[in-house]
Amino acid sequence: MSTTLKRILWLLACLLISIFCFIFVINNKVLLAALLIFCLVVAIISWIKLGKISRNLQSSNKLNDIIDKLPSPAYRQPIILAYKNSEQSLFDISDRTRQTDHGFYIFVNNLNEIDDVVEALLIERPSWHNQISTLMITLAEQQSDKAALMGQLHEYFYQISRVKKLTKSNISSLVVTCLDGVQSPWFEMVALDKKLTVWTNGQTPVHYKDWILNGQDSEKRKRLFQILHINAWLQWFNHNVVQEYINNEPDYMYVPPTSIGMIFTSVEVKDNNLWEQWVKETISLPRVDRSVDKENTILLPNFMIRLLPHQSGYHPITKAITYAIGLACIFLGSSFLGAYINNKHLLRSISHDINRFYQIPDAKEGDKKDAFIQLQKDAALLDQYYRDGTPLYLDMGLYMGEAIMPPLLKAINSYNPPKFVPSSVSPKPEGLINFDSMALFDVGKSVLKPGSTKILIKALLQIKAKPGWLILITGHTDSTGNEELNQQLSRERAEAVQNWMVQNSDIPSTCFAVQGEGSKQPIADNSTDAGRAANRRVEVRLIPDKSSACRVISRGSSDQKASLNQGDK
């Protein structure tokens, strides 16, 4: 899979995780932020790392000279990396690559470059990982140093083990040998069936016995000699290559060739080579006739490619789409699971509130009322979901709020609030003046409104009607809000009324007393709007002063009335 597709898949995974966290991890904002940051960091790191790996590998790409000649990524035929341990040109090749009807050849100049070429090949064509094979062309008649030959074979099998790790798949290998002699068809020994066959026309194999018998009388002896030499070469390969390799116990396992191909053609022969030494020591056969045409070239053994693996996987884009669909399925599955868990949590929470409401006895009015208020909040939340739509973290077709609504409403309707009993207060004085706080003050304020003067003048006239009486000003609030703030607000409002009366009359300040009761002395039910409005008030009580300590020095009743009348205008 290409770097671009890998990047897209990583970004898609991070995006889906972020969406899941944003929808379902809503209760903990810190955790949500941490998860989103983590997804962003992972996306950035994966983007940079994949790009860096791709650039590093491309900078050392061993295929720069043949990239344009590679088949498309959808090519499904075998890819054969061929190496020849001889400089003699035997095959009809003039380039580093060759594409046939059966497969694509890449010729490697140095044996130790096979793994590098495969690594570079997988960068350009990642989908080819399971269709790469190797081909080694060995010429025994050009090898006189057995140690050098074993070194080449060790390196070859080491390269196969490296390719196996890179491709993460089993590697098929082919071995081809050429012996000097009159041009012959290809002989093949397949590792699985151990039968020697002859490819006379390159399309259909025949058993070697049939091949001998089908020849003319003059050719039968020559064919028989070639078969005997082929069997001798197979014995030589098993003794000098396979057994020697296994006995040396290298760090990497011997990988038997999938198939061995042999042919008689024109080969440059070295004196006292390994093959001649073997023939002299083990068999007593005259050697086959020498080749005549020293410039003869042969076709590549395409018939052996049928045994190599073809591309069995999917196209890289198809794989990427499959992975994307898999990620989407995981996302949807996780979303369903998250919605189910959230719905169970919602049901458990509301069920707990209902059970708590029923378990509290009516005698505990405060606790019962708190439980009732919680049920009202639950009902309001479910009603909001019904009107505005269910949120995604509860939806996905799994919303269970409607199932809990009937028992919730039943519990709410079963509540019988206690009858309101006004607080006990001190014996009512002879004079009582009651102000609506909202007529004198704005909400939450203790500064008199501009239009409150007329109301206060009327109250002052009533106070003047009883000179020398003590004046008690008390502020009250409803039960909403903070009790401590209500207490402070009620006293500040009482002080504001006192200050106005002192400034606008000749009543000394010693005749006044102020206090703030907050919501401690309601005169109506705070659970209703009308009751709360009645409880928001400022009371002025006139109390007889038996000690005559609050007598006012009168300037005459006519002057007082004139002053008050002027203020009323």
List the pLDDT tens digit at each of the 569 positions of the chain: 566 667 777 777 777 777 777 676 656 667 667 777 777 777 777 767 666 555 554 544 556 667 778 888 778 889 999 887 666 565 656 678 888 888 899 888 888 888 888 888 887 787 788 889 998 888 878 888 878 877 887 788 888 888 888 888 888 888 888 888 888 889 998 876 778 899 887 678 888 898 888 888 878 888 888 888 888 888 888 877 777 656 655 566 667 788 899 888 888 888 888 888 887 777 766 677 676 665 666 677 888 888 888 776 566 677 777 778 887 888 788 778 878 888 888 888 889 988 988 888 877 777 888 888 888 888 888 888 888 888 777 777 778 888 888 888 888 888 777 655 555 444 444 567 777 777 788 888 888 888 888 888 888 888 888 887 888 899 999 888 888 888 998 999 889 988 988 888 888 888 888 999 988 888 888 888 888 888 888 888 888 766 665 764 444 343 444 343 434 33
pLDDT confidence of residue 96:
80
pLDDT at 187: 92
**Share in percent of the chain as helix, strand, coil (round to 5):** 50, 15, 35
Give pLDDT, residue 138: 82
- Strands of the sheet containing 172-180, edge to edge, are 97-99, 104-107, 79-84, 132-138, 172-180, 259-265, 186-190, 196-199, 205-207
Q: How far apart are CA 541 and CA 15, in angstroms?
A: 70
Query: What would the two tokens of residue 364 be?
Result: 């505990």
CB count in 10 Å sphere of residue 151: 12
Residues 6+ apart with CB under 8 A from 375: 353, 354, 357, 408, 411, 412, 415
User: What is the residue type of 115?
Assistant: D
β partners of residue 80: 105, 133
pLDDT of residue 316: 64
Report if pTM > 0.75: no
CA dihedral 429, 433, 437, 441 (to 10 degrees): -120
DSSP 211-258: HHHTS-HHHHHHHHHHHHHHHHHHHHHIIIIIIHHHHH--SS-----S
What per-residue confidence (pLDDT) applies to 549?
59
Q: Is 380 exposed, middle or buried (0-12, 13-18, 19+ CB in 10 A)?
A: exposed
Q: Return the closest-CA partner of residue 521 out of 438, 428, 397, 407.
A: 428
Closest to 79 in 3D by CA, of 172, 158, 2: 172
302 contacts 102 by C-beta, under 8 angstroms: yes
Q: Which long-range contacts (CB under 8 A, 24 or more apart) does 237-246 make?
A: 237/175, 237/177, 239/278, 240/146, 240/149, 240/274, 240/278, 241/149, 241/150, 241/153, 244/150, 245/150, 245/153, 245/154, 245/157
SS3 331: helix
